[in-house]
Structure 1
Amino acid sequence: MLYLITFILLILIVAVTLWSNRSDLSPRILNDPLAPKPLETLFDKIDSTPDSPVGFGYKISWLAIKTPDAKTVLDTLHIENVQPANWNTGVIAAYNGHTFISPPINGWVLVVSYHLPELGKEPEPDGLTPLLTILSQEFGEVQYFGTHRVVEYHAWSRYINGSEIRAFAYLGESDEILANRGADTEEEEELGYEYFDPDSPDADSDSYWEREDLCYPDETHVMEVAGLWSVNPTALEDLELPNSAGWIGNLVDLSDEMMPQKTVS
């Protein structure tokens, strides 16, 4: 009898455990660590009161779109749950998985998000190329910048009128230059960095890795290129611009199939 009672209790315990896990199964499966954190956990309310620009740049990616019209950028991208938001709110939201569309900064609108595509390894296609192609057809010039400290991903790219002018990406985790298309721009030459290239024929020699004139790309380089091309986001607070506000939302789809196709005349 005791064994029967013990057996029944064990069955009940297992059943309760399975039911508990079953009821919690969907949230665990759907709990993407990169998914945007609920806004209500970040703010008591979304603040849209204009404020001064807030610096950002490290451990995130962004677009710099050459236009004084932030609303047109907002309307061109596929973004859901759009809400007005000031700089402080927008930057916090961007670092927690949402997207911030900034007000214009010296003729540039910045789109800040974790969820922008990345420059992929050549010759594999990536999701960034069609996005920059289409946006640059719409706005004339679009730039991409990205950094990620954990894997040491550092990248920048520039498109004008639908054509790629320059694309560079480095992944320190695997010590790879993922992309190096187009000649160095004048601004890159001005910075004067010479990067190690593991694919260089000279890389087979020990002396190549002992050269003092070569270095590795890092997040500081990304900010410097951004500053010479358009806007250095880490220096926004030094610009002494008037208070302003933009929008926050969630990127839905950045593929070329979902974006309006345009041709360059």
Structure 2
Amino acid sequence: MGIGYKTTWVAVRNAAPEVVADALGLRHREEMGWTDGTEAAYRQGVFVARAEPDPTWTLAHGRIHLTAGFNAADPWFPDWLRSLSTQLGEIQFFSTDRIGDCHGWARADAGELTRAYYYGNGSVPLHVGDRTDIERELGVGERQLEDGWQSWGDQEWDAFMNAMPCEQDVMRIAERWSVCPLHIPEESVTDQGIHGFPAGFEPR
């Protein structure tokens, strides 16, 4: 299946999987191949592996356990990104779920959150920094609920919703920023990755 839709992942530049797993505090570690690891991380836990055939990027994939109860509206989430980038350098975060209509992306380096945008459940709880070129090309990543939104009519809401991202936008942004996991051939990843659980989660 590989890493694709309805999940979250972090891309880390020039970091070994072991280093990324350490920064995420993964426990109960088990070596897995790409196919088994990515499928396991859709169910529980986090899988960390190099994004072959381009070893520049290491991906950490976890649908529900990548962070402890991910919610972009929580104040701790930007701090978590900053802390992770302090440890690892350049990191990129992506999340997409078409069922819940929640999509977002973020980029941080050396402890500074330079760009973040998250849309979920009809609102934009996280908007940091200026849009990147690919966001402008796609026409996403700009709008949020402006003052007076409570009195919007159908026309205003239609315009707002038309400016919101979809899962394809997240994949295109990932491709331009680093690597789109949909384009990683499973047979190209020959090294073993690491599957584990952050603190507070136990295998089921």
Question: Match for 1:166: what amino acid?
Answer: R
* C-alpha deviation, 1:198, in angstroms: 3.6
Which of residues 30, 54, 61 in structure 2 aligns to 1:112? 61
* C-alpha deviation, 1:158, in angstroms: 0.6
Q: Which residue in 2 is equivalent to 1:76?
A: 23
Between the two structures, name the one with larger relative contact order (CA 8 Å, sep ≥ 6). Answer: 2
Q: Which residue in 2 is equivalent to 1:236?
A: 184
Percent sequence identity over aligned pairs:
29
Task: Describe how 1:94-109 pairs up with structure 2 within 5 A.
Answer: 94-105=41-52, 106=54, 107-109=56-58
The 2-side partners of 1:190 and 1:207 are apart by 23
* C-alpha deviation, 1:61, in angstroms: 0.7
* C-alpha deviation, 1:253, in angstroms: 5.3
Which of residues 92, 95, 106 in structure 2 aligns to 1:157? 106
Deviations 1:91-138 (A, max 9, x none): 1110111210112442111111121233532xx513x32332122122
* CA 119–142 in structure 1, closer or farther in 2 if over 3 Å, else same: farther
After superposition, the CA RMSD in angstroms is 2.7
Task: Describe how 1:105-184 pairs up with structure 2 within 5 A.
Answer: 105=52, 106=54, 107-113=56-62, 114-117=64-67, 118-121=70-73, 124-126=74-76, 128-172=77-121, 175-184=122-131
Q: Which residue in 2 is equivalent to 1:49?
A: none
Aligned residues of 1:193 and 1:214 also touching (Cα < 8 A): no
* C-alpha deviation, 1:230, in angstroms: 0.8
Q: Which residue in 2 is equivalent to 1:86?
A: 33
Question: Match for 1:100: what amino acid?
Answer: F
* CA 208–195 in structure 1, closer or farther in 2 if over 3 Å, else same: farther
Would you tell me which structure has more strand in proportion to its own residues?
2
* CA 197–248 in structure 1, closer or farther in 2 if over 3 Å, else same: same
Q: Does structure 1 residue 245 correspond to structure 2 residue 177?
A: no
Larger Rg computed on CA atoms: 1
The 2-side partners of 1:184 and 1:213 are apart by 18
Deviations 1:211-250 (A, max 9, x none): 5994322111111111111111111129x74522211111
Q: Which residue in 2 is equivalent to 1:220?
A: 168
Runs of 4+ aligned residues of structure 1 deviating over 6 Å after TM superposition are none
Deviations 1:137-177 (A, max 9, x none): 222211111122332111111101100111111113xx111
Aligned residues of 1:119 and 1:179 also touching (Cα < 8 A): no
Q: Which residue in 1 is equivalent to 2:156?
A: 208
Aligned residues of 2:23 and 2:88 also touching (Cα < 8 A): no
Q: Structure 2 length normalisation: TM-score? A: 0.82
* CA 62–250 in structure 1, closer or farther in 2 if over 3 Å, else same: same
Question: Match for 1:144: what amino acid?
Answer: F
Q: Which residue in 1 is equivalent to 2:14?
A: 67
Question: Match for 2:72: what amino acid?
Answer: G
Unaligned ranges ≥5, structure 2 = none
Q: Structure 1 length normalisation: TM-score? A: 0.65
